[in-house]
Amino acid sequence: MDNREMAPASGGVPERASYEVRDADVRAVALFGLAVLLTLLLVYGLLRLLLTGWLNQPLTAGPQVAPALVTPVAAPGPGLVAAPSQELDAYLQEQSQRLGSYGWVDREAGIVHVPITQAMEMLVEQGLPARDGPPPQFGLGPAYRLDSTGGQGPIAPGR
């Protein structure tokens, strides 16, 4: 053994170098080691069960397909407009020309488009077309009824 002496902690007599016997709990260390060992055995057993189950399943007989052949092609993104103001001006001019001119919408059905100013005048003179017959009934009563104070209160079901 080594006979070296350590410096005193509180200025007293030097102590002999030795190991600490009070702080290490041998039982706790042994229980911890046993717990680690049992955990490892449990994990090993579970993995063995899983892997043997997976290995006993038959493989597919078909040929392997490359993922590049199965993956759908991504849709192209929106194209960049080189001159958006010019494209907008051309669109607005086309719409303005359509609103101010005559033309066929469906020649076979006899549907035409007329200038917007004339269409508004025709609407004022003739009015909107009305449906023939009574308005549709959906079998539902009014959602609210007027109460005695002039406010609206919900109608109780079954009334």
| pLDDT score, position 5 | 54
Write down the domain spans for the chain: 25-55
Q: Does the pLDDT value for residue 3 go beyond 60?
A: no
Which helix (H) or strand (E) segment is 105 a member of? strand 103-106
Comparing 94 with 69, which gets the higher pLDDT?
94
Q: Is the pLDDT of residue 96 over 90?
A: yes
The predicted structure's pLDDT at residue 11: 58
Output the pLDDT for position 50.
94
pLDDT digits (tens, 9 = 90+) for 104-150: 999 999 999 999 999 999 999 998 888 888 877 888 776 666 666 55
pLDDT per position as a tens digit, 80-95: 888 889 999 999 999 9
Give CA 37 to chain center in angstroms: 44
b or e along 17-26 (b: 16 or more beta carbons within 10 Å of the residue's beta carbon)?
eeeeeeeeee
In eight-state DSSP terms, residue 55 is H
